[in-house]
Amino acid sequence: MKDLPMQAPAPIDTSVESKAPITDNTISETDSTLTTDYLMGKFDYTKHPLFEKASASISNREIYLRKETIQAFTAMHDSAAKENVSLRIVSGTRSFEEQKAIWERKWKKESPHYPSKGEIARKILEYSSMPSTSRHHWGTDIDINSVETVYFQTEKGLAEYNWLVQHAHDFGFYQTYTPKDRGRTGYSVEEWHWSYLPIANRCLELYNQHITNQDIQGFLGCEAAVEIDVVREYVNGIEKY
């Protein structure tokens, strides 16, 4: 598969005033499934027509993703295997409710240690997204082999990571959370998090057009979304390709 040229969206004004009203929650004229609920993970991906379960040969548990993501990863998995590199998906799509459970567990753990909601949120946001803001809602983003940096410092993990850096873009996958030495904001480095940009870039574009910090509600500490400008700093805190 040839490299697909990607164009990152330009910075978007995330103020409420800049947002046009959305009719019937549908935000894409070409794909009626792309709604605000979709982008914020408020749907059942196990029943969504664009999603399917990844086979046991490429994942370590029951994982659902966009069909296109699975097809592209399967091709990448098979190509890597020819070079004795093993790639498996350890995390895929997460719903709003699943992300909420992760977030609220960490919120309760960290709350006693920080004086403000903004500080609690920033601590959690080192590695975990707020519900409604995770790229894992879209079915385009995967965690590969491990979710621990120390794994990718081992000989095996480093070889797998180096293969991804050299070849993943041939299949449409890009590392979104790279080192911050070029000015990226938001999450800490995640060697494991790879995004299928042919779809994810469109999701991010629509997210920026239609979702604001004020829309992020319904969980412990959601008020911090406005305080820390989570859309600009974290949703858009990605490596640009």
Domain boundary assignment for the chain: 21-235
d(CA 227, CA 95): 24
d(CA 171, CA 18): 35
Q: What is the pLDDT of residue 9?
A: 32
Q: CATH class for domain 21-235?
A: alpha beta
Q: What is the pLDDT of residue 182?
A: 87
Q: Are 29 and 35 in contact (CB under 8 A)?
A: no
pLDDT tens per residue across all 241 residues of the chain: 333 333 333 332 323 232 332 333 444 445 677 899 999 999 999 999 999 999 999 999 999 999 999 999 999 999 999 999 999 999 999 999 999 999 999 999 999 999 999 999 999 999 999 999 999 999 999 999 999 999 999 999 999 999 999 999 999 999 999 999 989 999 999 999 999 999 999 999 999 999 999 999 999 999 999 999 999 999 999 999 9
Per the confidence metrics, is the pTM higher than 0.85? yes
Q: In sequence order, which ranges of the chain are alpha helices (DSSP H)?
A: 36-39, 67-81, 96-110, 117-124, 155-167, 197-210, 224-228, 230
Nearest to 8 by CA among 235, 233, 202: 202
